[in-house]
């Protein structure tokens, strides 16, 4: 059975369902006002919020290093869950002690050794971001609301606003174990819920923001592992170089290998397209012909899905064609 693309109706963890609309047959209940607004934001391509789990630290030294980084590179102070604003050199050592991480490490390590596992994370490193042009202070305010609603009186946290990469983003360091000794496990469903709520907090502050699954929006590439993504942006990703070399070699031989995930991508896309068509029919029945037309146009403009290797092959071929055009016809 094709992968189900989340369900907005009756599920607080979901974002937008178009796949299952196409399988429910006649008799759909009307869309709610909130659902119609969500559909409108999606087809208008309102900026999508991003929440990225950027690793985490398993050692006190690792926690201190990351806190030092967000403090040095940030715009202003590091703000804690207690409202303190830290900026003095060495604040990260005091924060580690305040969070009792130095006392937790021996206990966690002993438990991990006994179970034959590596030590668990002491903190989660989260990054909240929006596209260039989003007011940084408003973004920070939305993250402050998010952290207060999700973590206050449970998980200790600290945050810092950064504006050094062309778009505003906020780093949040969250203690992995709560004051009630419960561990925070961040799953895909957790991130879906977080994105939805974060987008809502931004909208309440007057910032257009949306949270819809990549597949539903017709995004073509899979999300990258954080380390690979950052290395790729710096242009020094060994992983990316190896994949490019592999694809280039196959293109030269004329036998580009089809990835096993290609069929799944195509099947998911069929479900998404069918869902958007059914959604358009529902909107027409509810007296929303203009939005229904926008939905059909949105679905029609989605580019064909492709795997990461397919994207690499397309870029290589584009580069070759461009080079030949610059060189002119051969004699």
CA distance 145 to 198: 9
- SS3 (DSSP) at 48: strand
Q: Which two tokens stand for residue 287?
A: 């007296």
pLDDT-based confidence at residue 200 (cuts at 50, 70, 90): very high
pLDDT for residue 12: 35
Domain boundaries, the chain: 1-46+210-220+239-326, 50-186
Q: Does 307 have pLDDT greater than 80?
A: no
**Stretch 46-57: mean pLDDT:** 93
pLDDT-based confidence at residue 90 (cuts at 50, 70, 90): confident
CA distance 194 to 248: 39
CA distance 220 to 205: 31
pLDDT for residue 170: 97
43 with 217: CB under 8 angstroms?
no
N-terminal to C-terminal alpha carbon distance within the chain: 55
Residue of 142, 172, 163 whose CA lies nearest to 79: 172
Q: How far is CA 226 from the centre of its chain?
A: 10
> Rounded to the nearest 5 degrees, what angle is found at the Cα of 247, between the Cα atoms of 215 and 321?
90
CA distance 319 to 311: 12
Query: pLDDT tens-digit profile of 57-82?
Result: 999 999 999 999 999 887 678 999 99
pLDDT-based confidence at residue 202 (cuts at 50, 70, 90): very high
CA distance 196 to 209: 9
Q: What is the pTM of this model?
A: 0.78
Q: Does 331 have pLDDT greater than 60?
A: no
**Stretch 80-98: mean pLDDT:** 91
Helix boundaries (H) for the chain: 33-43, 60-73, 91-98, 101-115, 136-151, 188-204, 214-217, 226-234, 238-253, 262-285, 289-300, 308-327
Q: Which two tokens stand for residue 63?
A: 């926690």
Residue of 18, 17, 162, 155 whose CA lies nearest to 82: 155
pLDDT-based confidence at residue 180 (cuts at 50, 70, 90): very high
Q: Which two tokens stand for residue 126?
A: 């989260």
Pick the range with the lowest mean pLDDT from 5-9, 170-174, 204-208. 5-9
pLDDT for residue 308: 62
Q: How far is CA 137 from CA 2, 141, 169, in A?
A: 42, 6, 10
Q: Which two tokens stand for residue 260?
A: 């096993």
pLDDT-based confidence at residue 4 (cuts at 50, 70, 90): very low
pLDDT for residue 245: 67
Residue of 174, 198, 168 whose CA lies nearest to 75: 168
pLDDT for residue 327: 61
State percent of the chain over pLDDT 70: 70
Query: pLDDT tens-digit profile of 130-176?
Result: 999 999 999 999 999 999 999 999 999 999 999 987 889 999 999 99
CA distance 127 to 162: 10
**Stretch 236-243: mean pLDDT:** 60
Instruction: Give the dihedral sign, CA 156/142/163/219.
Output: positive
17 with 9: CB under 8 angstroms?
yes
Helices 60-73, 91-98: inter-axial angle, 10-degree rounding:
130
Q: Which two tokens stand for residue 298?
A: 């949105």
Q: Does 183 have pLDDT greater than 60?
A: yes
Query: pLDDT tens-digit profile of 241-260?
Result: 666 666 566 556 666 665 66
pLDDT for residue 16: 61
Listed in order, strand segments (DSSP E) in 97-242 are 123-129, 157-162, 169-175
State percent of the chain over pLDDT 90: 50
């Amino acid at each position: 059975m094709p992968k189900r693309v989340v369900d907005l109706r009756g599920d607080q963890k979901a974002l937008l369902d178009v796949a299952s609309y196409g399988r429910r047959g006649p008799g759909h209940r009307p869309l709610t006002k909130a659902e119609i607004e969500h559909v409108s934001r999606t087809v208008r391509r309102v900026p999508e919020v991003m929440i990225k789990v950027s690793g985490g630290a398993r050692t006190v030294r690792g926690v201190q290093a990351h806190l030092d980084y967000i403090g040095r590179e940030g715009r202003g102070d590091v703000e804690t869950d207690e409202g303190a604003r830290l900026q003095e050199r060495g604040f990260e050592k005091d924060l580690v002690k305040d969070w009792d991480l130095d006392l937790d490490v021996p206990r966690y390590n002993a438990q991990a050794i006994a179970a034959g596992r590596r030590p668990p994370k002491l903190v989660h490193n989260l990054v909240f971001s929006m596209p260039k042009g989003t007011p940084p202070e408003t973004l920070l305010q939305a993250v402050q609301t998010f952290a207060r609603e999700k973590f206050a009186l449970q998980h200790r946290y600290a945050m810092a606003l950064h504006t050094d990469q062309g778009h505003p983003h906020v780093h949040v360091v969250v203690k992995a174990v709560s004051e009630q000794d419960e561990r925070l496990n961040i799953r895909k469903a957790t991130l879906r819920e977080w994105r939805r709520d974060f987008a809502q907090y931004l909208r309440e502050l007057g910032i257009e923001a949306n949270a819809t699954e990549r597949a539903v929006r017709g995004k073509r590439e899979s999300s990258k592992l954080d380390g690979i993504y950052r290395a790729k942006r710096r242009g020094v990703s060994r992983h990316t170089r190896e994949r490019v070399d592999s694809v280039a070699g196959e293109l030269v031989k004329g036998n580009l290998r089809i990835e096993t995930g290609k069929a799944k991508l195509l099947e998911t896309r069929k479900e998404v397209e069918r869902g958007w068509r059914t959604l358009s029919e529902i909107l027409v029945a509810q007296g929303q012909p203009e939005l229904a037309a926008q939905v059909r146009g949105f679905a029609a403009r989605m580019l064909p899905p492709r795997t990461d290797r397919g994207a690499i092959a397309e870029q290589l071929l584009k580069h070759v064609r461009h080079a030949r055009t610059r060189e002119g016809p051969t004699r």
